[in-house]
Structure 1
Amino acid sequence: MEKEGKRRLRVVLVPGPFQGHITPMLQLGSILHSNGFSITVVHAQYNSPEPSSHPEFSFLPLPDTSSAVLTGELIAFVLQLNTNCKARFQECLAEEMRQQGPDDGIACIIHDELMYFSEAAAKDLTLPSIVLRTNSAANFLARHALLQLKEEDHIPFPEFRSQDPVPELYPLRFKDLPILGNLDKYLQLLSKASNIGTSSAIIYNTIDCLENSSLGKIQQQYHQVPIFPIGPMHRIASASSSSLLKEDTGCMVWLDKQSYNSVIYVSLGSLAFMDVKELVEMGWGLANSQQPFLWVVRPGSIRGTEWIEILPKSLKENIRMRGYIVKWAPQKEVLAHSAVGGFLSHCGWNSTLESICEGIPMICKPCFGDQGVNARYVSHIWRIGLELESNLERSEIERAVRRLMVDEEGKEMRKRGKNLKEKVEICTRDGGSSNNSLNKLIKIIMSF
C-alpha cells in the first residue's frame, strides 16, 4: 500500500533490547514494509539485531553504555537506557527529518513500551508515536494489578508468593503476578511503560480469539486511543530470522527420522538460567520418560559451566539413545514439524504464540516475569497444557512428559490445541479480526 503515487512513508521502529522484544518488532517491520512503508530500526547496541537478516531495513544504533547490564540488573539497565538515549535519539531523528525528501517523510515512530523515551522525543519533534506491547494482554492486566497494590500500600504484602487468587484476575494467583528483579525499580519501570503519553495507538501481538476479555478491559482503560491486536505477527510477517543466537538446523534432519507426534521439544528461552543439579534432573527426567526429545541447552545458561560437559557419562549415553541436544534451534520450524507432539517451555509470549499456532500442547515451566501469567492461561483458560510448579525433579518431569505425550489427558489437550489453531488461522485471514486490525492500523499510519 502506497500513498500519493510513488511516495513511500517511513516508519521508525524502536525495539526493546531483548530477544522476546526484538523479534515481534522486526516482524512488525516486515509486515509494514510489505504494505509499502520504508523501515528504519533505531536500536540499542546491546543485543543489536543483525542488519543482514533484513537488508530492506535501515538500522541505526544508539549508544547504551551501562554497567547495570554487566551485572545482570536488567531493570536498572532499561531505566538507564531510557535516560541515556533520549537526547541522542532526538538528534538522530531531527537529522533524518532535515535530510528527508518529499517522497520519504517519517510517518510515525513505533516503539516498544520499554523504550518510553521514544514517545517524549516524538512529542518534542511533533511526530506521531504508537506503542507496541510485546507481551499478552492478560500480562498487562496483571502488571496493572501490581501497580494498584502498590498504590494501596499492599506491597510488600505477606501473600506475595501465595496460592490465593488475585481478585478479578482469574485464573491468576498472587504467586503468578509478573515480578522481575528489584521490586521498587520494577514498579517504577511498569509505571513509565504503562503511561502512553501522547501516543496515538497501542499495538498488541495477540489475537482476539485468545484474549477478547482482557483486550476489552484494556480498551476501557485506554478509551482515548485505539488498540490493535494484530497477532500472531510471526504468521503474517516474512520468514526472515531475528534470532540473536545461531540456530542449529541439523536438528531438523534428526526430526525427519522420528515418528509422528512422538517428540517432546524442550526450550526454556533466551534469558532463563539453571544450575547444574537442575540440568541433570531435567536430563534424567527426559531420558526416563522413554520419549524422543529435542533439548535446547543455551550456552552460558548453566551456572558454573560452559555447556553440557558437566552431564554424567551415563546420562549422556542414555540421551544418545533417544535424545538430541542443540545450543539453539529454529523454533518455529521445529514446532511446525510433524514429529513434534509437545513443547516443554518457559512460556515466554513468543514461544506460547508459536506453540498455539501449530496446535502443540505444552508443559509449562515458567521462570520469571510474564511467564507465570502465560502458563496459567495455557493450563487453565485455553487448557492446552499442564504446569510444572515444583522444582525441576526427574520424577516430576518424567510424569509430566508421559501425561502430555502418552496419556489420554494429553490427547485431549492436543484436540483442544488443534481447535485453537484453527480459530487463530481464521483471525489472520481476510476478514478475520487480526487482519481487520492490521488494515485499520495501516490506515491510521497513512493518515498521519
Structure 2
Amino acid sequence: MEENQRLFLMASPLQGHITPLLHLADILFSKGFSITIVHTLFNSPDPASYPHFDFRSISDGLSQTEASTLDAVHLTDLINVRCRNPLRDLLAAALSQCRQRVPCFIADAALHFTQTVCDELKLPRLVLRTGAASSFLVFASFPLLRQKGYLPVQESRLEEPVVDLPPLKVKDLPKFPSQDPEAFYKLVCRFVEECKASSGVIWNTFEELESSALTKLRQDLSVPMYPIGPFHKHCLTGSTSSTSLLTPDKSCMSWLDTQERRSVVYVSFGSIAAISEAEFLEIACGLANSKQPFLWVVRPGLIHGSEWLEPLPSGFLENLGGRGYIVKWAPQEQVLSHPAVGAFWTHNGWNSTLESICEGVPMICMPCFADQKVNAKYASDVWKVGVHLQNKLERGEVEKTIKKLMVGDEVNEIRENAFNLKEKASVCLKQGGSSYNFLDSLVSDIFSLESSTSKAH
C-alpha cells in the first residue's frame, strides 16, 4: 500500500461514539493509512494515548452550561450547527496544505452537518454508524412509524406489536428524554437522510449477527455497506490504550480472580444513564438478596442528587462478607472476558451489547433510552442471549431475574446461544470471514474514492 494516504475522522463527542471511532481509526491505521482525528474541545480524547495519530481540535462554541447538559440530543444539535464553519475551515486548509492524498472524510452518523461541508469541498464522505443495524432500521422507519401513529409513543399502546418491524412492540421503540421531544425525531430523520447522500456506511456489527437488517438497509439506503465489526476484536498494530474518558479501577480484576467460574454478576449502566436514589436502593437490595457475587460500576453522577455511594445503607458492603465489589468505572472488556463473570446486567448501549456477545456472556437487559430498547429486544428475543428485566425495578424482581440467568432452568440454553454467537463474532474477523472481506472492500473502495479528490485539489 502507498504511504501517502491520509484519512480524516470525526466522532460525536460522547463516550459511546468516541470509543468505536478510535477503534476504527486503529483498524484503518493497521491497513497503512495515516490518521487525523478531528475533535471538539468538549470531551476531547487524550492525544498521548494515540501517539500514532494526528489530532486537530475545532471550536464547538459550547458554553460551560451547554457542555454540562445531560440532554445528548440538544448537545448534538448544537454541535451540528456550531462546528460547521470551523470544520470547513480546517478541512479546506488541510486539503490545500496536505502533501498526502486525502481520499475521504469519515464522520459519525450523528454529525449530519459534515455531509454539506464535504459536498462544498468535493470530498467524499463515509459515515460511521456506531450503533446496531437493527436499531438504524428502526430510525430509518421513523416517518412511517409516525404516519401509522406509533410515534410519539403512547403509554396506552406499549404492548402493541409494531407490525412493520417484528419482533418490536411499541415499548421497544427508541425515545429520548429531551427538553424538546420533537428534536430527537428531527435529528434521527436528518442523519438518516445524510447517510443516503454519503459514499457508504461503516458498521460496528457483523453480517451473521444482523443479516436481515443489513439486507433491508442495503435496499433502503442504496449506498455501499461495510459491516466490519466487532471493531474492538480486530488484531491491531496501533494503540492498546483505553479509549475511556473515565479512568478504570483495575483493582476489581484481582477481586474477580478470587471468585468461582461464571459466578459473578457484572453490573454497569454505561457513561450517560442515570437512576433515582430509590431505584439504586432496589438494585442494591436485589443484588444482595440474590446471594450471587457481584461487581457493580457506580459511576459518579449515576444517582440523581448523590455524589457516589451515600444512599447505600450503613454497613451494606461489610454485611456481604466480600461477595460484592463496587468501583467508579471498570475496564469492561477485561471484566467481560474474565472466567468468573457469568452475567452482565447492562443498559444495552451498543458497545456494551457487542462486547458481551463477543465474550459469550449472557445479559440482563435494562435499556434506558434511544437505541438501547431495540438492542435489548434483539438480545433477549431474537439472539436469545439475555433476559429482560421486566416490570418495575424492584428488589424482588431483581433477585428473581438474576437467579433466572445464573441458576435457572433456561440458563444452559442461553449460555449455549451466547457461546455460538461468540464463535461467529470470532470467525467473521478471520481470513475469508465476512468482516475480514468487507474490510478489504472498504480499503479498496477508499482507494477508488481517492482519484476524484486528488483531481479536485
Alpha-carbon separation, structure 2, partners of 1:200 and 1:370: 24
Match of 2:439, as an amino acid?
A: L
Contact persistence 2:150–2:170 (CA under 8 A): no
Q: CA deviation at 1:288?
A: 0.9
What's 1:242 paired with? 243
User: Mean alpha-carbon deviation: is it higher for 324-333 or for 141-150?
Assistant: 141-150
Residues 262-319 of structure 1 show CA distances to partners (whole Å, capped at 9, x for unaligned) of 1110001110001111111111111111111100000111111100022111423234
Superposed, 1:21-100 pairs within 5 Å as 21-66=17-62, 67-100=65-98
Partner of 2:301: 300
Question: 8 Å contact 2:300–2:308 — kept in the other structure?
Answer: yes
Indicate the residue corresponding to 1:193 in structure 2: 191
1:407 and 2:383 matched: no
Corresponding residue number in structure 2 for 1:430: 431
Q: Which runs of 5+ in 2 are unaligned?
A: 451-457
Structure 1: 5+ residue runs without aligned partners? none
* In structure 1, distance between residues paired with 2:285 and 2:348: 22
The answer as to 2:234 corresponding to 1:233 is no
With structure 1 as the length reference, what TM-score do the two structures score?
0.95
What is aligned with 1:284? 285
Asked if the contact 1:287/1:318 (under 8 Å) is kept, the reply is no
Post-superposition offset of 1:128: 1.1
Residues in 1 aligned to 2:275 and 2:152: alpha-carbon distance in whole angstroms: 27
The CA deviation at 1:158 is 4.1
Contact 2:19 2:243 in 1 (8 A): yes
Partner of 2:123: 127
Deviation at 1:168, TM superposition (A): 2.6
CA distance in 2, matches of 1:243, 1:293: 22
- Give the TM-score normalised by structure 2: 0.93
List per-residue Cα deviations over 1:137-196 (Å, max 9, x = no partner): 110111123222334566446467511111131111111111112321111101111012
After TM superposition, the structure 1 stretch with the greater mean CA deviation from structure 2, 35-44 or 389-398, is 389-398
> Are the aligned partners of 1:405 and 1:411 in contact in 2 as well (CA < 8 Å)?
no
What SS class does the counterpart of residue 12 from structure 1 fall into?
Answer: strand
Q: Deviations over 1:10-36 (max 9, x none)?
A: 110010111111111100000000100
Amino acid at match of 2:227: P
User: Are 1:211 and 2:210 an aligned pair?
Assistant: yes
SS of equivalent residue, structure 2 residue 343:
strand
Equivalent residue pairs, number: 441
Q: How does 1:207-356 map to 2 (within 5 A)?
A: 207-223=206-222, 225-236=223-234, 238=236, 239-356=240-357
Output the CA distance in 1 between the equivalents of 2:199 and 2:36: 19
Shift of 1:61: 1.5
* Aligned-residue RMSD, C-alpha: 1.5
1:145-156 aligned at under 5 Å gives the runs 145-151=141-147, 155-156=151-152
Structure 2 residue 107 is the aligned partner of structure 1 residue 107: no
Secondary structure at 1:107 match in 2 = coil
C-alpha distance 369-319 of structure 1, shift in aligned 2 (>3 A): farther
- Structure 2 CA distance for partners of 1:245 and 1:379, relative to 1, 3 Å: same
Q: Which runs of 4+ in 1 moved over 6 A?
A: none
- What is the letter of the counterpart of residue 205 of structure 1? N
Deviation at 1:64, TM superposition (A): 1.6
Shifted more, 140-149 versus 211-220: the winner is 140-149
Q: Is the 8 Å Cα contact of residues 153 and 170 (structure 2) preserved in structure 1? A: no
Question: Per the alignment, in what secondary structure is the counterpart of residue 45 of structure 2?
Answer: coil
**Whole-Å separation in 2 of the counterparts to 1:113 and 1:309:** 39
* Counterpart amino acid of residue 85 in structure 1: C
For each residue in 1:369-423, what CA deviation from the matched residue of structure 2 results, as whole angstroms up to 9, or x when unmatched? 1111011101100111100122321111111111111123112211111111111
